[in-house]
Amino acid sequence: MPERTRLPWRRAPLAILALAVLAPDADAHLPALRGRLIELVQQSDVIVAAKVKQTQPAGEPVSTTTIAVERVLRGHTAGPTLSFRGAIHVAPGARYVFFLRHSGAVVECVQPSGVVFPAPPQDDAVYRATIVAIGEALQADDPSRELKLRAALVPALSAGAAALRYNAALELASMSAHGPPLGDDERARLARLLADPHVDPALRPLLVPLISAPRNTSMETKEPIGDRLEKEGRGG
Amino acid sequence: MAGARSDVVFLAIGLLLAGCGGTDSSGAQPTPLRVGVAAVRLTPCGSNPDWDGPITPSGVWGEEFTDTDGNGRWDQGEPFVDDPVNTALDPGSAEKYDGIFLAGFGNDRIASGCHDDLWARVIVLQGPTKKVALVSVDFVGELLHGKYYGFSYARDLVDPALGLDAIVFSSTHVHEAPDTIGLWGVSEFSDGKFPRYLQFVDRQVARAIDAAAAPGALRPATVVAARTDPSAAAELRGLQVRTRCRPPFFFDDEVRALQFIGDDHETIATLINWNTHPESLEDQNTEVSSDFVGYIRQRVEAALGGTAVYFTGDLGAVEIVGDTCVGGADPHNADGSNPFDRRDDLGFGRTQQLGELVGDAVIAALHGGESLDVAQLDVASTSYYVAGSNATLSFANTIGLLDLDAEAFDVAHCPAGTSLCVPVEQHSVTLSNGAGRPSVQLVTAPGELFPELFYGVAQHHRTDCPAADTGAPYEPSIRSAMTAPYRLLIGLSPDEFGYIVPGYDFYPPPSLGDEASDACVGQPFDPEFPVRKVPTHYHESLSVGRAIAATTTCHALQLLGDEAEVAGNEACRAAGLP
């Protein structure tokens, strides 16, 4: 695998690293609803859109999945067919985007159980654009990396695939909370998106606060606890 | 799976004794308390005359599907027969596979079978003037007001002629039972609920209440009460840990039990109240189970007879040993070791052991228990709204994972700008003696109450990190407002509104799916247990908000009649009480 695609954790934006550390799923009793695109891109050697050919149990909860690669979105594959081990369960015939990583001689899927990306062919372009842009942003130096990552997520907000759309929106909201507030250009882009009557209404509660957030403060780093508690209200 | 599966089983006691008066056959003093009990299976496997939905080849209930890869379970992408009954109940169910996804931990944990039964168990208490049903179901949590399901639907199905003054619903919070909330579907953005099953549950819960409350099921009863804890019962030592070792390392380690004995000197029912997450089986199990709760009940029933009914208490941040604070548990054995404080032995063997340890503690305590003079039963209830905010829950409701009833959860019930407005019900039940003095008091909480809130935050708060204190006033102690010697707390009643966290340590998540840090995160706080380090604030990410701690405790005090403490408590005043 080309070394340049193996982005080490030390190059990760601080906020993303913090998220990975702060929200471990393994010991949570409830699944965390959060965006995972950036960490999945970061952990992957190869990302493909592929149709499932076969699955075989490999000791619960792991299964071995064989796929027919239809489009390589990142990295390289040795051939049109690929087998990997992972915690996701998908059926033969269905088409998904898979985030994969080489581990010695085997290929592993880095997606946790239940984190799947259905991929009708018409969404290939937006998947590719998002993944490529995230990959490029991850190689940029601070502080532009944060802005580039956010910019990479915006096109995915209009994706047909709900999983891609929701992941992008959740990730954008989280990054905005941890990092610098959105700039005027970013706000304008989101405002245009939300003005579209066809936009998924589920995105509004996530994106509207980003547009209306103060321009020169960060909730995570600058807002005193007392202010946050005050905002939350005192019950009723 | 244990037991016959041929039918829903009624264990209503005393049906043959209909018409029996309040005086026992020995001529002893009449007791004014009458007790009925029932248990109805909710197990989603195999044949059941009350289940009219599809059953998969594994025996687990669920929509029919084509197992293209032959692994015995439905996988995302496999063809299935979309049952119109589900879609009629929840339009969001169209084109979604509906089956039994286990609730707890991550997504896509579809049930492969049923190991042991799930139950709706009900104790009905009838005093001279009041009649109340105490209901416990083996689920992670329920809603009172779901869009198409929930305890309010069950309540509406209960025979009004039975004259119940209150029905106290609750869930045991098992993490190996069907998803009744919606967060554990095949994927993180897919509703895990099975509408047709949830409607079945509502019917069966109502059926259990009807059976236990029927006049012929109610028998004169005496009460033996007991409480024990690790200082008296060695088997209870080191069984509780705090989630990720979250400080303070404080628990409600008391096990409480009430044994209701009929006029034939046989046990009618045993009420058990303990305060620990039932999740010994953890996330690798795929078989439906009531976890250690089932083993506790079995142990107690085998020793005492009758029907055991388990009620979960103040278990917020309190896990069973071997969970996320691995290596941080207190000793279990006299030599300082704790064989359960590990993660390489999770399974039914260990779970049975844990359940039997707790069951044995209950049995021993009741053998030395106190016979109560019960002359009066009182019930008090309240309902109100809490203004909260939780981006995760709001988003989950928006995309149809949760199915909150729009009218009941209308934000118009709360102050302007509220993003999450939850309707809360709370109850108290009191058994008093002939002098009017309470012997048993029971109060409910609408979620996973931190034990500090029951015992008092002023006495049981963090001391490791003054800088982390948010400055919010301490909520009052519920337990201190109780005057009875036996003080019970029933959590997740009727709703599972997530964690109820004291305000002084409540750090809202900075963003959706995120967890806040405080000034001491990562620091060890107990020199004797270096593994105990301050974690990030996980629980707040799954809480209605900070306000619910004050509203829960202060309303509980009002139900108990302690208006003076409510009036004098700053947290209560800030919450708008009295």
Per residue in B84-99, pLDDT (tens digit) is: 999 999 999 999 999 9
The β-bridge partners of B122 are: B38, B135
Does residue B457 sit in helix, strand or coil? coil
Q: Confirm or reject contact between B477 and chain A (CB < 8 A).
A: no
Q: Are A170 and B104 within 8 A, CB to CB? A: no
- Check CB contact of A234 with chain B, cutoff 8 Å: yes
pLDDT at B18: 32
Inter-chain residue contact B284 with A60, CB threshold 8 Å: yes
The reported pLDDT for the residue numbered A215 is 76
In this model, does residue B372 exceed pLDDT 80?
A: yes
Of B76, B283, B392, the CB nearest to A94: B76
- State residue B30's pLDDT score: 58
Predicted local distance difference test score (pLDDT) of residue B345: 86
Subunit contact B71:A166, Cβ cutoff 8 A: no
* Residue B173 Cα, gap to closest chain A Cα (Å): 11
In angstroms, the separation between the Cα of residue B73 and the nearest Cα of chain A is 10
DSSP string of B19-74? T--SS-TT-PPPPS-EEEEEEEE---BS--TT--S-B-TTSBBB--B--TT-SSS-
Contacts of B561 (CB under 8 A, 6+ apart): none
Q: Does B399 touch chain A if contact means CB atoms closer than 8 Å?
A: yes
Task: Decide if B73 and A201 are in contact by the 8 Å CB cutoff.
Answer: no
| Backbone torsions φ then ψ of A102, nearest 5 degrees | -80, 135
Kindly report the backbone phi and psi dihedral angles of residue B90, in degrees, each rounded to the nearest multiple of 5, phi listed first. Answer: -135, 105
A32 has a chain B CB within 8 A of its CB? yes
What gap in Å lies between CA B541 and CA A24, rounded to an integer? 13
Give the pLDDT score at A105: 87
Cα B203 to Cα B197: distance, rounded to the nearest angstrom: 10
CA-CA distance, B150 to B180, in Å (whole number)?
9
CA dihedral B86, B91, B96, B99 (to 10 degrees): -30
Residue A138 contacts residue A145 (beta carbons within 8 Å): yes
Give the pLDDT confidence score for residue A17 in this predicted structure.
30
Instruction: Tally helices (H) and strands (E) across chain A.
Output: 9, 6
Instruction: Give yes or no for residue B168 having a pLDDT over 90.
Output: yes
Does B398 touch chain A if contact means CB atoms closer than 8 Å? yes
Report the chain B residue with the minimal C-alpha distance to residue A117.
B187
Asked if residue B180 has pLDDT above 70, the reply is: yes
Of B187, B385, B512, the CB nearest to A173: B512
Tell me the pLDDT of chain A averaged across its residues: 80
Which residues of chain B lie closer than 8 angstroms to A35, CB-CB? 513
B185 contact residues in A (CB cutoff 8 A):
114
Residue of chain B whose alpha carbon sits nearest to that of A221? B510
B501 touches chain A (CB under 8 A): no
For residue A2, give the 3-state DSSP assignment: coil
| Residue B265 CB neighbours (<10 A) | 10
Domain spans in chain B, listed from the N-terminal domain onward: 376-574
Alpha carbon distances (Å) from A168 to A38, A137, A148, B227, B399: 9, 15, 13, 52, 15
CB contacts of A60 in chain B (<8 Å) are 284, 286
Full DSSP string of B134-198: EEEESSS---SSBSS-SHHHHHHHS-GGG--SEEEEEE---SSEE-SSSSSSSSTTS----HHHH
Count other C-beta atoms under 10 Å from residue B530's C-beta: 11
- For residue B31, what pLDDT is reported? 72
Q: Which chain B residues are within 8 Å of A205, Cβ to Cβ? A: 391, 394-395, 398, 419
- What pLDDT, on the 0 to 100 scale, is given for residue A30? 65
Backbone angles phi, psi at A98, to 5 degrees: -115, 135
Average pLDDT over every residue of A219-230: 36
pLDDT recorded at residue B318: 97
Q: What's the pTM value of the predicted model, to 2 decimals?
A: 0.90
